Amino acid sequence: MDFELDKSYEILRRTPAVLRSLLSGISEEWTMSNEGPDSFSPYDVVGHLIHGEKTDWPDRARMILQHGITQTFVPYDRFAMFEESKGKTLGTLLDEFEIVRNNNLAWLESLNLSPVELASKGIHPSFGEVRLDQLLATWVVHDLTHIAQIGRVMAKQYKGAIGPWTEFFRILNF
């Protein structure tokens, strides 16, 4: 599938509701477990998504539109949520994510980006030149990846409980 901004909005708008539906009101065994050192729990993923909304996606889009290839993106701290989420409930994080995402999408939609603007380039600190449409497509894939990650982490909580069926569930063997 080629990038289309309208198709991107279809996913980006739904992510807060998907996460709220999946994670609200369930026990911490589901939401606070992870896959080991340097991995994220579902709670951590929500914090990570908030941090991206505040410091990555819109900031990089603005930088591309305002500065093009004259400035390099600030490196993204993928682990900042460990500190930023401290003391917050999952419900609070879900509320915060929904608000910041809705604000970012309203801003992005207000730009009425043209094909020329979507082809604008910026400089990524690792990849070099990247286009705005690539950044926006990555935002969508980032959401979908973390939704899948949450499902995988949660499924692994029952890996030992399903007995011989483990062999039929590839998600448990990543």
Domain ranges, ordered by start, for the chain: 5-149
- CA-atom Rg of the chain in angstroms: 18
Which DSSP letter does residue 139 get? H
Question: Side chain identity at 56, as an amino acid letter?
Answer: D
pLDDT confidence of residue 82 = 87
Residue 79 DSSP label: T
Bridge partners of 121, per DSSP, are 131
CA gap 64, 21 in Å, rounded: 34
Percentage, residues of the chain above pLDDT 90: 93
**Which positions ≥6 away from 126 have C-beta within 8 Å?**
none
φ and ψ at residue 69, rounded to 5 degrees: -95, 15
Q: Are strands 121-124 and 128-131 parallel, antiparallel or unpaired?
A: antiparallel
Alpha-carbon gap, residue 17 to 25, rounded angstroms: 14
- Superfamily for 5-149? dinb family like domain (1.20.120.450)
Q: What are the backbone dihedrals phi and psi of residue 65, each rounded to the nearest 5 degrees, phi first? A: -70, -35
Confidence of residue 12 (pLDDT cuts 50, 70, 90): very high
As a whole number of angstroms, the distance between CA 71 and CA 87 comes to: 35
Question: Can you give the pTM of this predicted structure?
Answer: 0.95
Interval 89-140: pLDDT, tens = 999 999 999 999 999 999 999 999 999 999 999 999 999 999 999 999 999 9
pLDDT of amino acid 81: 92
User: CA–CA distance from 89 to each of 23, 31, 80 (Å)?
Assistant: 12, 11, 17
